[in-house]
């Protein structure tokens, strides 16, 4: 008899069948995209002005959003992980709000705060002549709002998991707190910084709802890749598919780049 | 006294149920070992000296400068105390090379990369690390890592040196070598050195003086020789591998608290005393021994345990003691648990002192 012996790890069919369905459900749309990709005209479509503008704008704004998130998000992560202050729990909860908030609601909230009539935006307008809505900086603001929590949460987790023994050792060697942060803490959490930055960049690149609400959809100014895909659906489907392919490739690159880091943040080595 | 130097610490720390009360003076050039079991307060003491745990009362002075005094509201942060620390497990920075680890303290003090490098080069050479200077800590053996940790601490030109279980991370085979090297390096340091350890051998080999810490209190203090020869608590006696018996001396005879009596080497002693006997100074016999040994008594073998090439035999009797014998002796005497044996030791083998 060549019947294979069953082991404890082979799933019973009530588990195996839905599991297979779930996998197929996740894979089929990707397959659909690949099947319908206009491979023959791909280069031509991607080098059109609309595509190039959207691609350039997306890369620039996502990079800017990542840098801003880095400059203000990492310090916030440190404060959340290491400082004791009243309202820390509230602050931590606040950081996670953009993760669960529908992005379009985020966009409206941004308009109400930073719009020309917004309670902050009106002063930006009257004192400094800064207008954010429907501008490229507005795109960056929308993307930062939605994507920064990824960096903060990743880095905060890493800082909490970091053993303070090395920082104590640095202190006995005469290093002040800023120097310890710069020369010991940051290098030790470097893997998490990279992981957080990549996730932030990927989230910013895919941002749609908050961007279209807060910054609009002006080609060359605020029309990022996801917006161009959306516009393409109405007119030029091939272009929508080609640009979607670009976004898919970026997502895969992020996955490959991070591998299992996202799940093992905080380990220093 | 105005220009006192070294470490003068006299303080108390409360941590919930546990509290540490300690009086510790270490002169420049002196190496003091703080010896104690786990949970005795050794780590707390170290953290207090370094400045990682503030004290609750008393004060700590280093080179005459108060670094912690709650009554005077003084607390100098660790970075400003200039105390070199060799931590347990060494705590080298894993992302920096050996050279950058050693230069870290100088860089922290504001030296340029170039100046820090050349100044730390001296310590790299002194501790025989030149060949390793571009390696990362992950690529070092335990003994090498310890030398890097020592070089890193000494390169800052510290006012005092603290070592926390400096040999416990090493395997037994390299420990002896590293201990010998460490003795040499500690002799060269001109400031006060405090060595925290649970290993009596570290204390005996590396230190000039031993402070025994048990349950947050100093239970004995003295030169290594005194502590090794004349332990004052069962803990010290057991880590030193000695039998410690308590009794009352009268005209050269010691009546032991737990039963039995022993002839002391010196008839002048009287009053409460401690008697220390090395396990190798007691002989076992099948029959009552004839001969010059003054102290002879009987007991029952309770455990037999090989230790290296010898065998440690516990005998319960009046008094109960542990005896070290050779493996041959075990078979010649036909020793087995529960057997009756005769014990003997010469009066001159006993260390009798007021206790």
- Decide which of B237, B265, B284 is a domain's last residue: B237
- Determine the distance in angstroms separating the CA of B120 from the nearest CA of chain A, rounded to an integer: 13
Among candidates B80, B81, B87 on the partner chain, residue whose Cβ is nearest the Cβ of A169: B87
> What's the CA gap between B100 and B237, in Å, rounded?
44
CATH number where B317 lies: 2.40.50.100
Q: Burial of A144 by CB count in 10 Å (0-12 exposed, 13-18 middle, 19+ buried)?
A: buried
Long-range contacts, B253-262 (Cβ 8 Å, 24+): B254/B352, B256/B318, B256/B319, B258/B318, B258/B319, B258/B320, B259/B318, B259/B319, B260/B297, B260/B317, B260/B318, B260/B319, B262/B295, B262/B319, B262/B345, B262/B347, B262/B350
Residues of chain B with pLDDT under 70: 1-4
Element (H, E) at A249: helix A237-258
The average pLDDT across A181-202 equals 93
Quote the DSSP letter at residue A11.
Answer: P
Long-range contacts, A97-100 (Cβ 8 Å, 24+): A97/A149, A98/A145, A98/A146, A98/A148, A98/A149, A99/A149, A99/A150, A99/A153
Q: Confirm whether B1 is domain-assigned.
A: no
Q: Nearest chain A residue to B109 by CA: give it.
A: A174
pLDDT of residue B267: 82
Q: Are strands B83-86 and B65-69 parallel, antiparallel or unpaired?
A: unpaired
Question: If you count them, how many residues does chain A have?
Answer: 269
Together in a domain, B331 and B230? no
Q: Which residues of A touch B81 (CB under 8 A)?
A: 172
Together in a domain, B132 and B189? yes
Across the interface, do A174 and B83 touch by the CB < 8 Å criterion? no
> What's the CA gap between A45 and B204, in Å, rounded?
81
pLDDT of residue B1: 41
CB B103 within 8 A of CB B116: yes
The average pLDDT across A99-113 equals 94
Q: Confirm whether B26 is domain-assigned.
A: yes
Q: Considering only CA atoms, which of B288, B291, B293, B289 is closest in space to residue B277?
A: B293
Quote the DSSP letter at residue A263.
Answer: G
Kindly list the strands in the beta sheet with B160-164, ordered across the sheet, starting from the edge strand earlier in the chain: B83-86, B160-164, B193-197, B31-35, B209-214, B217-223
Together in a domain, B156 and B98? yes
User: Structure tokens of B8?
Assistant: 């003068």
Across the interface, do A175 and B94 touch by the CB < 8 Å criterion? no
Which single residue is written with the structure tokens 């290098």?
A: A187
| Per-residue pLDDT at A187 exceeds 90 | yes
Any chain B CB within 8 A of the CB of A174?
yes
Together in a domain, B31 and B116? yes
Q: Which residues of B touch A171 (CB under 8 A)?
A: 51-52, 77-79
CB A20 within 8 A of CB A11: no
Q: Which residues of A146-185 are buried (b: 16+ CB within 10 A; e: fewer)?
A: bbbbbbbbbbbbbbeebeeebbbbbbbbbbeeebbbebbb
Q: Confirm whether B2 is domain-assigned.
A: no
Q: Which residues of A touch B109 (CB under 8 A)?
A: 174
Which single residue is written with the structure tokens 């546990």?
A: B18
The answer to whether domain A41-264 has CATH 1.10.3720.10 is: yes
User: Structure tokens of A256?
Assistant: 């490959």
User: Structure tokens of A17?
Assistant: 């069948």
User: Structure tokens of A189?
Assistant: 């959490």
Q: Considering only CA atoms, which of B19, B8, B2 is closest in space to residue B53?
A: B19
Could you tell me what percent of chain B has a pLDDT over 90?
51
- CB atoms under 10 Å from CB of B280, counted, come to 13
> What's the CA gap between B99 and A166, in Å, rounded?
17
Quote the DSSP letter at residue A48.
Answer: S
Together in a domain, B232 and B284? no
- CA separation (Å) from B303 to A94, B235, B300, B329, B337? 65, 20, 9, 15, 6
Q: Considering only CA atoms, which of B83, B75, B23, B29 is closest in space to residue B53?
A: B75
> What's the CA gap between B13 and A22, in Å, rounded?
59
Q: Which domain holds residue B252?
A: 241-354
Q: Considering only CA atoms, which of B267, B281, B285, B269 is closest in space to residue B322?
A: B281
- Decide which of B202, B237, B272 is a domain's last residue: B237
Quote the DSSP letter at residue A219.
Answer: T
A contact residues 130-169, partner B, Cβ 8 Å cutoff: 165-166, 168-169
Together in a domain, B202 and B273? no
Residue range A2-61, pLDDT digits in tens: 556 666 678 899 999 999 999 999 999 999 999 989 888 888 888 888 889 999 999 999
> What's the CA gap between B102 and A139, in Å, rounded?
47
Q: Which residues of A touch B44 (CB under 8 A)?
A: none
Domain limits of chain A?
A: 41-264
Together in a domain, B265 and B349? yes
Together in a domain, B256 and B232? no
R_g over Cα of chain B:
24
pLDDT of residue B353: 84
Least confident of A166-175, A210-219, B77-86, B266-275: B266-275
CB B325 within 8 A of CB B313: yes
Together in a domain, B176 and B266? no
Residue range A107-164, pLDDT digits in tens: 999 999 998 888 888 888 888 888 888 999 999 999 999 999 999 999 999 999 998 8
Q: Which residues of B touch A168 (CB under 8 A)?
A: 50, 52, 78, 91
Quote the DSSP letter at residue A206.
Answer: T
pLDDT of residue B328: 87
Across the interface, do A172 and B95 touch by the CB < 8 Å criterion? no
Together in a domain, B11 and B127? yes
> What's the CA gap between B322 and B344, in Å, rounded?
12
pLDDT of residue A268: 39
Q: Which residues of A touch B78 (CB under 8 A)?
A: 168, 171-172
Across the interface, do A174 and B152 touch by the CB < 8 Å criterion? no
Across the interface, do B108 and A172 touch by the CB < 8 Å criterion? no
| Arithmetic mean of pLDDT over chain B | 89
- Decide which of B193, B213, B237 is a domain's last residue: B237
Across the interface, do A174 and B52 touch by the CB < 8 Å criterion? no
Quote the DSSP letter at residue A157.
Answer: H
Across the interface, do B104 and A187 touch by the CB < 8 Å criterion? no
Together in a domain, B62 and B35? yes
Among candidates B95, B96, B108 on the partner chain, residue whose Cβ is nearest the Cβ of A174: B108
Together in a domain, B162 and B19? yes
Domain count within chain B: 2
CB B204 within 8 A of CB B224: yes
To test the contact with chain B by mutation, choose from A165, A171, A172, A179 the residue with the greatest count of B C-beta atoms within 10 A, namely A172
Q: Confirm whether B212 is domain-assigned.
A: yes
CATH number where B56 lies: 3.40.50.300
pLDDT of residue A257: 77
- Determine the distance in angstroms separating the CA of A104 from the nearest CA of chain B, rounded to an integer: 43
CB B148 within 8 A of CB B98: yes
Written in H, E and C, the secondary structure of chain B is CCCCCCEEEEEEEEECCEEEEEEEEECCCCEEEEECCCCCCHHHHHHHHHCCCCCCEEEEEECCEEEEEHHHCEECCHHHCCEEEECCCCCCCCCCCHHHHHHHHHHHCCCCHHHHHHHHHHHHHHCCCHHHCCCCHHHCCHHHHHHHHHHHHHCCCCCEEEEECCCCCCCHHHHHHHHHHHHHHHHHCCCCEEEEECCHHHHHHHCCEEEEEECCEEEEEEEHHHHHHCCCCHHHHHHCCCEEEEEEEECCEEEECCCCEEECCCCCCCEEEEEEECHHHCEEECCCCCCCCCEEEEEEEEEEEEECCEEEEEEEECCCEEEEEEHHHHHHHCCCCCCEEEEEECHHHCEEEEC
């Amino acid at each position: 008899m060549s019947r294979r012996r069953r082991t404890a790890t082979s799933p019973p069919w009530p588990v195996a069948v839905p599991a297979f369905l779930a996998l197929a459900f996740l894979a089929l749309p990707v397959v659909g995209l690949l099947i319908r990709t206009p491979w023959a005209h791909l280069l031509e479509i991607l080098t059109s002005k609309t595509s190039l503008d959207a691609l350039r704008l997306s890369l620039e704004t996502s990079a800017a959003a990542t840098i801003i998130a880095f400059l203000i998000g990492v310090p916030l992560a440190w404060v959340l992980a290491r400082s004791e202050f009243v309202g820390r729990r509230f602050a931590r909860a606040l950081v996670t709000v953009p993760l669960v908030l529908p992005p379009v609601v985020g966009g409206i909230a941004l308009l109400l705060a930073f719009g020309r009539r917004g309670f902050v935006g009106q002063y930006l307008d009257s004192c400094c002549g800064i207008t954010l809505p429907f501008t490229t900086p507005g795109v960056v603001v929308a993307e930062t709002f939605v994507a920064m929590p990824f960096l903060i949460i990743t880095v905060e987790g890493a800082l909490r998991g970091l053993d303070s023994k090395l920082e104590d050792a640095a202190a006995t060697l005469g290093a002040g707190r800023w120097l310890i942060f710069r020369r010991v803490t940051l290098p030790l959490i470097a893997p998490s910084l990279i992981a957080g930055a990549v996730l932030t960049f990927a989230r910013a690149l895919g941002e749609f709802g908050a961007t279209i609400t807060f910054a609009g959809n002006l080609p060359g100014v605020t029309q990022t890749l996801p917006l161009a895909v959306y516009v393409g659906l109405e007119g030029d489907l091939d272009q929508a598919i080609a640009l979607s392919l670009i976004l898919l490739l970026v997502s895969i690159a992020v996955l490959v780049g991070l591998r299992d880091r996202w799940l093992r943040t905080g380990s220093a080595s | 006294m105005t220009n006192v130097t070294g470490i003068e610490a006299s303080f108390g720390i409360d941590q919930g149920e546990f509290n540490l009360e300690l009086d510790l003076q270490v002169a420049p050039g002196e190496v003091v070992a703080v010896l104690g079991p786990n949970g005795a307060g050794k780590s707390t003491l170290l953290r207090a000296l370094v400045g990682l745990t503030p004290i609750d009362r008393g004060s700590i002075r280093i080179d005459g400068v108060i670094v912690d005094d709650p009554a005077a509201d003084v607390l100098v942060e660790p970075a400003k105390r200039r105390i070199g620390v060799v931590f347990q497990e060494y705590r080298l920075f894993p992302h920096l090379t050996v050279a950058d680890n050693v230069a870290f303290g100088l860089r922290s003090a504001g030296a340029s990369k170039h100046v820090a490098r050349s100044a730390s080069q001296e310590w790299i050479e002194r501790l025989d690390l030149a060949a390793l200077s571009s390696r990362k800590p992950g690529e070092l053996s335990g003994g090498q890592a310890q030398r890097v940790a020592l070089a890193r601490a000494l390169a800052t030109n510290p006012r005092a040196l603290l070592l926390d279980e400096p040999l416990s991370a090493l395997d037994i085979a390299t420990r002896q070598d590293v201990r010998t090297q460490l003795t040499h390096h500690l002799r060269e340091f001109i400031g006060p050195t405090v060595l925290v350890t649970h290993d009596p051998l570290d204390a005996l080999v590396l230190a000039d003086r031993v402070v025994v810490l048990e349950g947050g209190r100093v239970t004995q203090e003295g030169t290594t020789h005194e502590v090794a020869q004349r332990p004052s608590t069962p803990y010290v006696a057991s880590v030193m591998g000695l039998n410690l018996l308590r009794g009352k001396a009268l005209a050269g005879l010691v009546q032991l608290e737990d039963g039995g009596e022993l002839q002391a080497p010196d008839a002048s002693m009287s009053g409460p005393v401690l008697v220390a006997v090395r396990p190798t100074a007691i002989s076992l016999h099948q029959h009552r021994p004839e001969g010059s040994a003054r102290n002879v008594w009987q007991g029952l073998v309770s455990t037999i345990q090989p230790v290296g090439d010898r065998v440690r035999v516990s005998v319960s009797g009046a008094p109960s003691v542990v005896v070290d014998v050779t493996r041959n002796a075990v078979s010649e005497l036909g020793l087995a648990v529960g057997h009756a044996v005769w014990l003997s030791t010469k009066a001159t083998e006993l260390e009798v002192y007021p206790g």
